[in-house]
Amino acid sequence: MLSYRHGFHAGNSADVLKHWVIERVLSYLTQKDKPCFYGDTHAGAGMYFLNSDIANKTAEYQRGVKKLFGGAAAPLPFSRYLSLLSQCEAEVGADAYPGSPWWAAKILRASDRLNFCELHPQDYPKLEQLFKRDKRVKVFNEDGFIKSVALMPPPEKRGLVVIDPSYEIKSDYEKVVQHIVALHKRFATGTYALWYPVVDAARAAKLEHRFIQAGLKNTQLYELQTELPENGGMYASGMIVVNAPWTLTQDAQKVLPWLSLCLSSSAVKAQGKDAGFRIKTLCDE
């Protein structure tokens, strides 16, 4: 299905969580001199503008990235996210908000390699145009679920694959687990980061249980709740990370309480100190 456009949701609370996790994983991987690989199965347009009609149809960024400023100082593990966001605004414009491919391209080095997949006929040309001069990048107008498996294992033997489908098709909640298992069979040393929305608590719980059943070692869950379920729509979102860097949970223990303070509605905050976030190990080392 190709009705989903990420531009409607750019800069929302889910984007903040997702891009922060991507930044932390890639910052960890680039500590070593060895080259690494980045893959994105549903890359989107790569750059969004918060003053556009599409972004303001929902204006979700007002409850996301725009709420990060003016409150309590950010914890240290969030500082590079903010620095890169400022860099994007300086280079592209004050109303720009970057998608996952931009974050990855800025963090990775000349020796690293990036592959992006995007099927949408309006978003693919924008993505291709954004990276047309970047020799590290290949953009595929192909199904990311299929292409990403074909690209495994990368010759670098190190890297991150981000899986971020729209979940318009409800079977995606089961498909994503099968997909990561298939990727892991070909590239067991890779890190896999799955974004998921929480619209229906039972469906999200089944997703979590499927990962526990899959038994992939060192699988961690990071979830941020910003609204009450009874308000309707997506009230939380999360990242499930397989082969997570050992530093990621330590960083999340500092960042998620702060993000919850910044982004959660007053009703969520009233539920208790830790109501707005979860950090959970789904499978140990």
pLDDT digits (tens, 9 = 90+) for 250-275: 999 999 999 999 999 999 989 987 88
Q: Which pLDDT score, from 0 to 100, does residue 125 have?
A: 97
Tell me whether residue 33 is one of the annotated catalytic residues. Answer: no
Model confidence over 212-231: pLDDT tens digits? Answer: 999 999 999 999 999 999 98
Q: Please state the rounded mean pLDDT for residues 27-35.
A: 97
Q: How many CB atoms lie within 10 A of CB 265?
A: 15
pLDDT value at residue 252: 98
Residue 93's Cα: distance from chain center in Å? 22
pLDDT score for 141: 97
Give the pLDDT of residue 232: 86
Give pLDDT, residue 7.
77
CA-atom Rg of the chain in angstroms? 18
Percent of the chain scored above 90 by pLDDT?
A: 87
CA count, 13 A, side-chain hemisphere, 137:
22
The distance from CA 158 to its chain's CA centroid, rounded to whole angstroms, is: 18
**Is the model's pLDDT at 38 over the cut of 80?**
yes
pLDDT > 80? residue 5: no
Average pLDDT, the chain: 94
Confidence tier at 47 by pLDDT (50, 70, 90): very high
pLDDT for residue 107: 98
Give pTM, 2 decimals: 0.96
Kindly state the tokens that stand for 254: 């500092």
Q: Report how far residue 194's alpha carbon sits from residue 18's, in angstroms, rounded to the nearest whole number.
A: 9
Q: Which residue has the tokens 């003016």?
A: 70
Confidence of residue 1 (pLDDT cuts 50, 70, 90): very low
Mean pLDDT of 176-184: 98
pLDDT band (50, 70, 90) for residue 4: low
The arithmetic mean of pLDDT across residues 35-54, rounded, is 95
Token couple for 137: 């990048």
Q: Which of 123, 164, 172, 251 is catalytic?
A: 164
Return the amino acid letter for 124. Y
197, 80, 75, 38: CA torsion to nearest 10: 40
Give me the mean pLDDT over the 106-129 stretch. Answer: 97
Beta strands 277-283 and 219-225: pairing type? Answer: antiparallel
Across 105-118, average pLDDT: 98
